[in-house]
Amino acid sequence: MIEAFQNINKAFESKVRLGIMAVLMVNDEADFNSLKELLSLTDGNLASHTRALEELGYIVCRKAFVGRKTKTTFQATPQGREAFKAHIDALESFLKST
């Protein structure tokens, strides 16, 4: 149990970050509003977690103009995909051991 526990990545422990990464693992990209609705989050809550994941190099953020509005789109980086897979493996081993 302890080894799996140590391998759980604190960067992904929050439910919101698990949700963001899960969406970005199965979709090439997702925009801010889709993520917000899908995960039932507030703007502030989503923004603070995407910023943190971006600073860790796990996702990238792209802003584009759609008419007069900006559209923010996120993608998981190869590094983010690898780290998330390792986290899921650790979580699964931990759960199996409990």
Of the candidate spans 21-29, 52-60, 61-69, 73-81, the one that interacts with a copy of itself by CB under 8 A turns out to be 21-29
Give the span between the Cα atoms of 28 and 26, in whole angstroms: 7
CA–CA distance from 87 to each of 19, 29, 54, 92 (Å)? Answer: 13, 20, 17, 9
Taking the least distance from each CB to a copy of itself, the nearer of 62 and 82 is 82
Nearest alpha carbon to residue 50 among 20, 19, 79, 23: 20
Residues 72, 61: contact at Cβ < 8 Å? Answer: yes
Dihedral sign for Cα atoms in the order 77, 50, 67, 38: positive
Q: One symbol per residue from 31 to 50: x for binding a copy of itself (CB under 8 A), - otherwise; what is it?
A: -------xxx----------
Q: One symbol per residue from 45 to 84: x for binding a copy of itself (CB under 8 A), - otherwise; what is it?
A: ----------------------------------------
Per CB under 8 A, residues contacting a copy of itself are: 1-2, 5-6, 8, 10, 13-15, 18-19, 22, 25-26, 38-40, 88, 91-92, 94-95, 97-98
